[in-house]
Amino acid sequence: MKWFQDWTLATAMDQLYAKQVYDDMKPYINTLLPHTSSYGRAKLALLSLGVAFYVFIIGLSLLGLYIRSKPSPKSSRLPPTEAPPVSILRPLKGVDLNLYQNLESTFKQRYPIFELIFSIAEAQDPARQVVEQLMTKYPNVDARLIIGEKIVGSNPKINNLIRSYETAKYDIVWICDSNVFVDVDTLGRSVDALTSPGVGVVHHLPLAVLPSSYGAEVEQVFLDTNHAKMYIAINYVAVSSCVMGKSNLYRRSDLDKAGGLAAFANFMAEDNLVADAIWKQGLSHVMTCDTACQSIGYMSPREYLMRRSRWLRVRKYIVTAATLVEPFQECVLTGIYGAASFHALWPNINPWRFLTTHFILWFCIDYTLFHTFLASQSMQHPNKTMPFHKFLRAWITREVCALPIWCYAMAGTRIRWRGSYYRLRMDGSGVPYVERPLKKWVKGSGKKLVEYIGSPILNGNSSTNTS
């Protein structure tokens, strides 16, 4: 029976050792999970979620550092009889900064067969002269200009595009905004991606270049850091549709299954809805290594605030869940809940040191991303970089203003889009309205107080724009 005595002694020693370890760990365990409190378990779960979400957001940010080299497109080397033909649609409204260079970048595409269709709403649009100059310069390019819009809804961009879409020769269409500059091989690489099995949409990373004011610098820092890294990360994990309509390729035959382009004419975020409709057909989205470079030029701080709030208001009806959690992926709130969660689970972690480290790390990631993206884009310009002090100023402004802009956007339903006004509905559609003065008298003062109210345009007519 000696073996039984030895086993009993060993078991007793193990129990004593386990009790000693438990006694040593008991104070720490009690801070994490009070065994008699459901509140403690819920608190631990919430803090653990905060830590996990913080690590997840930092991981998503780091994904943006992965920039692939630009491969030589295969489709561009095919003869015209074998390469899939493409219709390039470029809606125009006025003369954007660098409009000539932007439009010329599509004339220069190294691809065997494509057509270019430009569209303007009015014959007097100054963009017409730019298009005609380029058509004269490149007579061998199949290009034409459509004058006059077709009202199919409240979205002015679709009203401008619809005739181009309906008269395009080819099934593959590339819708590219007028303020976008693209690389000469963008079309070739995009067709390579679109002709891969199961692909329904090809899109390109929007980047901002050439700011000429403080507000424009803030816009550039936003688009080339926070927006770019999250855009890349969300499309990398590919859990849902996430497409910005600056530069997109898809097949008309796929979109026509969802009602065609006109089916989205009353929605302000038609780009996302079009991509989502194709996504729901079981077709994936691919983002190539190409960029859609948009020259910003001058933008006042107020214009930046209104632009950001405008698209937040549109997105809150289209992608509600993503918009609601958006503040929690911003630098300030991410740092606050990260510091609080880590400190609560590991009290030795100083929350202030954590926050300082967090802000420095976030800034370094953004600064690295900013220059990585600018180096990867093909638009050559001597002043495309930004001095460090201007980047720091714009970055701080962007991060500090992010939450107030989000709160302001959530509280309203009206937007202004290049001089036209819209009231958003719950389904994401927009109703045009005009600002009409309503005069009131201030009682006892003898002076007039003029207030402006929105009056819907019942017939749906409004001035048009494309970006």
Cα separation, 233 vs 251, whole angstroms: 25
Those residues whose C-beta lies under 8 Å from the C-beta of residue 198, and which sit 6 or more positions away, are 282, 283, 284
C-beta atoms surrounding 116 within 10 Å: 25
Strands 199-211 and 247-251 turn out to be: antiparallel
Cα separation, 184 vs 290, whole angstroms: 10
For CA atoms 361, 327, 423, 448, give the dihedral sign.
negative
Q: Are 427 and 438 in contact (CB under 8 A)?
A: no
Q: Are 93 and 418 in contact (CB under 8 A)?
A: yes
Phi and psi torsions of 417, nearest 5°: -130, 100
Exposed/middle/buried for 114, CB within 10 Å: 0-12, 13-18, 19+?
buried
The runs of H, that is alpha helices, within 377-449 are 388-410
How many Å separate Cα 242 from the centre of its chain?
8
**Burial track 293-307 (b if 16+ CB lie within 10 A, e otherwise):** bbbbeebebeebbbb
Cα separation, 334 vs 366, whole angstroms: 15
| Catalytic residue numbers, as ranges | 271
Q: In angstroms, how far is the first alpha carbon of the chain from the final one?
A: 89
Of residues 372, 375, 63, the one with CA closest to residue 230: 63
Phi and psi torsions of 82, nearest 5°: -110, -25
Q: Are 84 and 195 in contact (CB under 8 A)?
A: yes
Using N-to-C axis directions, what is the helix angle for 214-221 and 388-410, rounded to 10°? 80
Q: Strands (DSSP E) along 46-186, which ranges?
A: 86-91, 114-120, 142-147, 172-176, 180-181
Cα separation, 79 vs 107, whole angstroms: 18
Placement of tokens 């919430």 in the chain = 46
Taking the CA atoms of the chain, what radius of gyration do you get in angstroms? 28
